[in-house]
Amino acid sequence: MYTPKPTSRLVLFSLILLLLLSFLAPSISSELDTADEDGDDMEGLEELIALDEEEDLQQHNTEGAQHEKLSEAEFVSKAQRIVLELNNDNTKRTIDGNEYVLVLGYAPWCMRSAELMPKFAEAATALKELGSPLLMAKVDAERYPKVASSLDIKGFPTLLLFVNGTSQPYTGGFSAEELVIWARKKTGVPIIRISSDAEASHFLKKHSMFMVGLFGKFEGPDYDEFTKAAEMDNEIQFVETSNAKIAKHLFPDFKSTSLFLGLVKSEPEKYTEYEGTFSRDGILQFLDDNKFPLITVLTELNAARVYSSTNKVQVLIIAEPDDFKKLVEPLQVVARKFKSKIMFIFVDIREDNLAKPFLTMFGLEESDDSVVVSFNYSSSLKYLLESDTTPTSIEDFCSGLLSGTVSPYYKSQPIPDNKNMSVLTVVGKTFDELILNSPENILLEIHTPWCITCETTSKQMEKLAKHFKGLDNLIFARIDASLNEHPKLQVDDYPTLLFYSADDKTNPIQLNTKSSIKELAALVNKNLKARDHEIRDEL
């Protein structure tokens, strides 16, 4: 008997998300901030590249030229030299001889590697200034393939943290700030303590999102839970203070109290106070519910974080930016109503790398109009708003998602004309009528355009239909699984032949597609329940 497998819809859904995660891995800006507040960073760079400057001076002196002050762009180039380049000779010594080593595996031709490397170097500079014990290293996997293989680097870019020689995958963000936060937490500094206004001002210049805690003493059960949460979280910097004025400096909405916890971020809802009991899980859930803005703009930079969000229901507004601007203010009101239950995401429809995979899942890849879709990751179902895109319709759509009154969406081609066809064409909308509710025996071919062997099976189906012509209780049919979906169509391999018996449509029998035409005819004969006609065994 045929054992149901994951539906083709779910296979496609999982595959596209996997492709998104791999394709939209780190793609980030390589420019350093030029604001005055970065002066301290530039001074640190000067100190760190002193040895490189000495080497350059020697070269300039041979030409009798005077060494000139380096431009900021040159500083960035020099900063990249702070990162150790691994090779065949120094890799084992480096990994085994340092407690913490963060390795970037890259390829010269990889665009995303090129975009990540300046941020990696910037993070290395910041960590060095902070006195971090972490060594930052990189390896050109194309030049040193054996080194890359020994470190288990298989794709580009790859980040791995080695702790006493044992590797673990990098799970943080891909901006310089996120790299620094993740690295410090993994190397024993999960919380920054701030004791003065000057320290608070300096911290605010470098961090746009953080969790601040006010404690009378840095001890006790509440503080212990705060510390545990800081150690568990890999994305957000935790800070602590025992001074209410400093807490007010960091969190202007702070109300005088002896115990306080709040999240600061650079979004319209900039300050959010934690009002739950002090527990590790409660604090972490609070972060998951509040770390994203009311409406997240999907980018290549934040894609991995968005896809890994614990929010089980995501609503995506795929539209032109100008159309989205007309919706954004009222939509924020809607998003606030469903906060922590639904994550709202804007996707620029012009960005094919971001929008097209989602549109393809709904058969709308050629659409130029605004589209609102939803994914429920707990049930692996998808939904489509099939009315006009307005704040009211989106709010009703979201309410229906949570109440279960919105039906899942399944792709379907238009209903075809099957008149005089020996093999009927089934689509998503006709699967119930032609397959599940039909009183006849049915042999169904499930195929896709990219399937190499499907054409052979299709030819066999045509021959079988001709051979069994005139048999009233047997119908031959086929369906393109790439364009049609149905909750009862559970196939993950193509081509597939399913025999639906007239008296049992819930348990189709799978026939071997590698069988010869004669063997298939025999299998059909064997599974037919009603034999009103004499059927020849040979073609």
Catalytic residues: 110, 451, 454
| Side-chain half-sphere CA neighbours of 313 within 13 A | 18
Torsion of CA 117, 119, 120, 122, to 10 degrees: 120
CA distances to 42, 57, 78 from 50, rounded to whole Å, are 13, 10, 10
CA neighbor of 83 nearest in space, from 138, 132, 37:
138
How are beta strands 371-376 and 313-319 bridged, if at all? Answer: antiparallel
Cβ contact 200:194 at 8 Å: yes
| Side-chain half-sphere CA neighbours of 193 within 13 A | 9
Residue type at 430 in one-letter notation: T
Sequential DSSP letters for 99-113? SEEEEEEE-TT-HHH
CA neighbor of 201 nearest in space, from 248, 143, 238:
248
Assigned token pair, 303: 């894609």
Taken in order 341, 346, 351, 357, is the CA torsion positive or negative? positive
Sequential DSSP letters for 197-257? HHHHHHHHHH-SSEEEEE-SSS-SHHHHHHHHHHHH-SSSEEEEES-HHHHHHH-TT--S-
Torsion of CA 375, 377, 379, 385, to 10 degrees: -10
State the residue for tokens 């807490």.
247
CA 444 to chain centre: 35
Cβ contact 286:316 at 8 Å: no
What's the DSSP call for residue 262?
E
Cβ contact 411:358 at 8 Å: no
